[in-house]
Structure 1
Amino acid sequence: MKMAHTCIRVKDLEASLAFYQKAFKFEESRRRDFPEHKFSLVYLTLPGDLYELELTYNYDHEAYDLGDGYGHIAISAEDIETLHAEHKKAGFNVTDMKGLPGTPPSYYFITDPDGYKIEVIRPKY
């Protein structure tokens, strides 16, 4: 077995696509539109990675209540300091660099247009 995808529901498909493509260089791998059922599914992948992020867009739906059960998804990047600076410069909602107690900074969070948090971390070796 292996992980296939993570689904998040979005209120503005174009804004979400722009965010993930600009912030992380996600590429649209496939799209399925179901106008008769009033929803679309857009699958995004990072270059060289088969794992997908599924954006589910339900037509004419207002913002979603994220509740208190959702935590975050995580994306690893080699040079998180440079990416962090790029995200701040682009005006994205990002936290300061953080570290677990007793460790140097190794991650930060960025928030997408729907309020979903993405942790940006150093790769595990």
Structure 2
Amino acid sequence: MKFRFVHNNINVYDLERSMDFYKKALGLTETRRIEKEDGSFIIVYLGDGQTSHLLELTWLRDMDRPYNLGDNEIHLAFQADDFEAAHEKHREMGCICFENPSMGIYFIEDPDGYWLEIIPEKR
């Protein structure tokens, strides 16, 4: 029996805002979408165009407030082929929330408060 990663899911409060952020910050684009006929939810899958792994954004119509992530310490990691250019772009966007220069990494925060680790390519 074998398993492989397919996608990660996060719930988002404002789907369009989140999609715009992920496109601008990380170049992720919509690969497919599921919309419940009654309008109760929308699921959008975002891809990087390089790997088969997807980020699933789930929007729930009845969620009437931003999500409280509490002590949720999870994060997704993205490898940048041009780490310095990525850092400059994210600095200009104002979304860098933590930097660890000694490890050579930093984190950006999406509109819902999820942290995304940015790492350089292995040399």
Fold agreement, TM-score > 0.5: yes
Shift of 1:89: 1.3
- Any unmatched runs of 5+ in structure 2? none
Q: CA RMSD in A?
A: 1.6
Give me the TM-score of the superposition, normalised by structure 2.
0.88
After the TM superposition, which parts of structure 1 deviate over 6 Å for at least 4 consecutive aligned residues? Answer: none
Deviation digits for residues 15-54 of structure 1, max 9, x if unmatched? 0000000001101000000142600100000021110000
Q: Trace 1:54-93 onto structure 2 (pairs within 5 A).
A: 54-61=56-63, 62-93=65-96
Of 62-71 and 45-54, deviating more is 62-71
- Give the Cα–Cα distance (whole angstroms) in 2 for the partners of residues 67 and 35 of structure 1: 32
Picking from 7, 10, 14, the partner of 1:12 is 14
Give me the TM-score of the superposition, normalised by structure 1.
0.87
- Counterpart contact for 2:46–2:54, Cα < 8 Å: yes
Letter in 2 for 1:54: E
Secondary structure of the residue that 2:55 maps to in structure 1? strand
- Give the Cα–Cα distance (whole angstroms) in 1 for the partners of residues 37 and 83 of structure 2: 39
Q: Trace 1:103-118 onto structure 2 (pairs within 5 A).
A: 106-118=104-116
State the partner residue of 1:121. Answer: 119
How many matched pairs? Answer: 120
Shift of 1:91: 2.8
Q: Is 2:9 the partner of 1:2?
A: no
Secondary structure of the residue that 1:67 maps to in structure 2? coil
Shift of 1:96: 3.4
- Give the Cα–Cα distance (whole angstroms) in 2 for the partners of residues 124 and 66 of structure 1: 31
